[in-house]
Chain A
């Protein structure tokens, strides 16, 4: 039976004695209640508005305008949500609007600090909620949660949706902080040591970090930290080690600063990718905290080869010489306010836009297109693989043709659902989101790439092929 087999296999997944000892050691060393010497803007004591009938968002023309701009022409199709809020730790989170169909949508939230000044324009949440705009006068943040299919928003069979937030942290992004070019010279090999065992990233991790304070420097545009050490270890890996200023040790979250990986990746791709000289296999990084977060060591690991050596996996990294002249900068996010843990769980009935579903049941690109579903917001195509070949159609442009002769093209879709049904048949659901609302009843045909499908009510007529692709909109990426 499954239960017995699962139990037997899971019983082999164990913390070993060293791991247990380390865990107990951390618990014994941890303070019972965290205190932070943030020393930033003093908390502003404010009375809770017990008789607030008008939401702070309604009272903030700026945020109201921004919400309106975000919804754009979909405004009339959105759902106004009232009375759904959760307050914890003096911060109230409310759902204010939603726009959704079965393939996805957006939930808009208002976050207000009722007792302090802990929110910022770049506040981070422990969920897929992200900030949009901040009104310091009302201490209110407009935020959004974009969801796709069943990803990122809990949706239940009865139509209820749930947003759950466990942490809210005000801070700011930083970027473009230049790293010293002279420290990228190949001969800048620095002394290393092993980070403490609790900083391990797994069995393959030697926990190599630079010894602190070997190349101390100020960093332009970074008041929260300075450069402690920057250079190469014995495996040609570049380390960027920061020294946090006093009071900032806990303000840089794990994995939240890195030497602008996007820039580095592009630099390395431009210089070496596919050139035959070096090919990047993967680009990863590891960060380590030393001395209770006083130092953060980030190790860059651009891998150019993976091989087996003495029965173990070995990685070859980009040679030191390849870094010369690269314009590396730092970017990341740092908490500039108190980190607030709490429980903000919001459940509300999510209204779904009406849809028109057309049965297609015709082959396209080694798949069987099964159904095509239209709402004012999006078009979705559900397809099943044929001959065992999986994959989605999301990379193709989709065009809908309307009765009045106009057409709307969306250059690229997104796979919002994939899985398999009983009988072992897989499926993909790909969705293309319209820039402006359409009337599903007015759609007479659709095309996916060159594949053109005329529609007749709730069924599709036999498909054909276009001689040329419809032109995408002018502002398409």
Chain B
């Protein structure tokens, strides 16, 4: 892929991929790793797209899968007992946040992707279902549960 095309694609889709990865992982470092892997897969697979919307949906799906894979990686599985045993971890370089974003990051991981795609990328439930390869009913269920949890976190009845 030539440099100009690469720069164009990063400009068009980079932020969307990075933000989805951040919503899913909660870590800017991991989000950057995921974004990198996602775009490299685009180069390697070189699929045909109908239009940029199609390309965007493909990238978001791959990013969601890569972010999920990151937490399943061998390192994390085998290192987990040590992490659980550590009473004190080195503090995260990112200070704790408050607000809606923090509330989403406090959700269990499986809910964050659909919440982000619905509330930020403004996909419909049907579109999210197609994008992530899941049933529309599952998307509705996860959104519904996520809203209930967000409502409790943010302590406002009709906030969502």
Q: Interface residues, chain A, CB within 8 Å of chain B?
A: 1-3, 5-7, 9-10, 13-15, 19-21, 23-28, 30-34, 124, 126-128, 150, 154, 156-158, 160, 162, 164, 166-167, 198, 201-204, 253-256, 258, 261-262, 265, 280-284, 303, 306, 313, 315, 333, 345, 419-420, 422, 424
Contact = CB atoms under 8 A, between A and B. Distances in A.
B3 A28 contact: yes
Contact of B9 (A27, A30, A280, A282): A27
Interface residues of B, number: 67
Given A20-B14, A262-B82, A27 B39 contact: yes
B82 A261 contact: yes
A201 B29 contact: yes
Given A30-B1, A126-B69, A201-B29, A24 B6 contact: yes
B141 A32 contact: no
Shortest Cβ-Cβ A-B pairs, 5 listed: A255-B75, A27-B6, A202-B29, A9-B101, A6-B100
B40 A1 contact: no
Contacts, number: 168
Contacts of B35: 15, 23
Given A10-B101, A204-B93, 17 more contacts: A5-B100, A7-B120, A15-B14, A15-B15, A15-B32, A23-B35, A27-B10, A30-B40, A127-B72, A156-B135, A157-B138, A202-B28, A202-B93, A256-B75, A419-B108, A420-B152, A422-B151
Nearest to B101: A9
Interface in B143-158: 148-152, 154
A1 B81 CA distance: 40
B19 interface: yes
A255 B44 contact: no
Contacts of A6: 100-101, 104, 119-120
13 contacts: A6-B101, A15-B18, A20-B11, A156-B141, A160-B135, A162-B134, A202-B28, A256-B75, A258-B75, A262-B81, A265-B85, A282-B86, A313-B91
Nearest to A201: B29
A33 B1 CA distance: 11
A23 B36 CA distance: 6
Interface in B70-118: 72-76, 79, 81-82, 85-86, 88-91, 93, 97, 99-101, 104, 108, 110, 116
Interface of B: 1-3, 6-7, 9-11, 14-15, 18-19, 22-23, 28-29, 31-32, 35-36, 39-40, 42-44, 46, 65, 69, 72-76, 79, 81-82, 85-86, 88-91, 93, 97, 99-101, 104, 108, 110, 116, 119-120, 133-135, 137-138, 141, 148-152, 154, 159-160
A195 to B, nearest CB: 15
Contacts of A424: 152
A162 B89 CA distance: 34
Contacts of B23: 10
A244 to B, nearest CB: 18
A283 B83 CA distance: 8
Nearest to A345: B133
A33 B22 CA distance: 28
Contact of B74 (A3, A255, A303): A255
B116 A10 contact: yes
User: Most chain-A CB neighbours within 10 Å: which of B9, B10, B14, B99?
Assistant: B10
Nearest to A262: B82
Given A6-B120, A281-B90, A27 B152 contact: no
Nearest to B91: A313
A30 B39 CA distance: 10
Contacts of B69: 126-127, 166-167
B21 to A, nearest CB: 10
B99 A30 contact: no
A128 B72 contact: yes
A2 B93 contact: no
A261 B137 contact: no
A166 B65 contact: yes
A338 to B, nearest CB: 14
Contacts of A150: 110
A416 to B, nearest CB: 13
A156 B138 contact: yes
Contacts of A422: 148, 151-152
Contacts of A19: 32
Given A2-B159, A150-B110, A313-B93, A27 B82 contact: no
A15 B72 CA distance: 24
Contacts of A280: 86
A149 to B, nearest CB: 11
A388 to B, nearest CB: 14
A373 to B, nearest CB: 21
Contacts of A126: 69, 72
Given A128-B72, A156-B137, A9 B99 contact: yes
User: Most chain-B CB neighbours within 10 Å: which of A23, A25, A32, A256?
Assistant: A23
Contacts of B120: 6-7, 10
A249 to B, nearest CB: 16
B102 to A, nearest CB: 8
User: Most chain-B CB neighbours within 10 Å: which of A27, A126, A203?
Assistant: A27
Nearest to B107: A419
Given A15-B35, A19-B32, A306-B91, A32 B75 contact: no
Nearest to B150: A2
Given A13-B22, A156-B138, A255-B75, A2 B46 contact: no
